[in-house]
């Protein structure tokens, strides 16, 4: 029985996790297995968790404004730890200015969701985009 596994991560000094927790709860109700990292993780910790837990989706929540230094580092460390971020959906949620979208996309981010995004939109995005990314974990 296959289940989509999602890592919901809080990186850096940002202490606001209501959004991340609400999203985790909704994704659970949508039938995903959701692993929540808790607050104040480093990019290395998030990357290590993504690889060891063999997740399909990495959702990084940031409300601190530090997305430009932190998000690309998570992706870089996933690769360093032997994971393949190209086979994962990398999502970023939070207060991200539109001007920063291209930079994040260039770093390998697949979806960016700003405050006010209906959760159903995020779920729809995962369900539509994940099959395109993942070649299947079975041989």
Partner 1 sequence: MNVEEIVEGVISGNRRLLARAITIVENEYPESKELMRKIYPRTGNAHVIGITGFPGVGKSTIVSKLTEEFRRRGKSVGIVAVDPSSPFTGGALLGDRLRLDGADVNKNLWLDEKVFFRSMGSRGRLGGIAKKTGDVIKLLDAAGYEKILVETVGAGQSEIGVLEVADTVVVILMPETGDDIQVNKAGILEIGDIFVINKSDLEGAENVERWLKYMLSLDEETVIELSKLSHADDAKIMQKLKWKKPVLRTIADKGVGIKELANEIERHYEVIKKNGILQEKRREKAKLSAIELAVEEIRSEIIKRYKQLLDKEIDPYTLADKIVKEVLKC
> Cβ closer to partner 1: 98 or 139?
139
Measure Cα distances from 23 to 43, 73, 106, 131, 132 in Å.
20, 23, 25, 21, 23
Contact by Cβ (8 Å): 90, 109: yes
Residues that contact partner 1, how many (by CB under 8 A): 33
The two three-digit tokens of residue 44, written as one number: 């290395």
Residue 17 CB-half CA count within 13 A: 17
Range in contact with partner 1 (rule: CB under 8 A) among 61-69, 90-98, 107-115, 131-139:
131-139
Question: Does residue 80 belong to the site contacting partner 1 (CB under 8 A)?
Answer: no
Angstrom distance (rounded) from CA 56 to CA 54? 7
Question: Does residue 35 belong to the site contacting partner 1 (CB under 8 A)?
Answer: yes
Contact by Cβ (8 Å): 50, 5: no
> Cβ closer to partner 1: 70 or 104?
70
Question: Does residue 30 belong to the site contacting partner 1 (CB under 8 A)?
Answer: yes
Question: Does residue 48 belong to the site contacting partner 1 (CB under 8 A)?
Answer: yes
Least spacing, CB of residue 100 vs partner 1, in Å = 27
Residue ranges in contact with partner 1 by CB under 8 A? 1-3, 24-25, 27-38, 41-42, 44-45, 48-49, 51-54, 81-83, 137-139
């Amino acid at each position: 029985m296959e289940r989509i596994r999602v890592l919901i991560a809080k990186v850096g000094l940002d202490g606001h996790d209501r959004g991340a927790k609400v999203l985790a709860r909704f994704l659970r109700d949508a039938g995903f297995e959701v692993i929540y990292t808790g607050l104040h993780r480093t990019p290395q910790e998030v990357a290590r968790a993504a690889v060891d837990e063999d997740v399909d989706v990495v959702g990084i929540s940031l409300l601190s404004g530090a997305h430009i230094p932190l998000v690309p580092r998570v992706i870089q460390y996933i690769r360093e730890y032997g994971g393949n971020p190209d086979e994962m959906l990398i999502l970023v949620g939070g207060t991200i200015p539109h001007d920063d979208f291209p930079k994040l996309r260039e770093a390998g981010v697949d979806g960016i969701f700003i405050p006010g995004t209906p959760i159903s939109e995020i779920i729809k995005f995962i369900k539509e985009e994940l099959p395109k990314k993942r070649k299947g974990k079975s041989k």
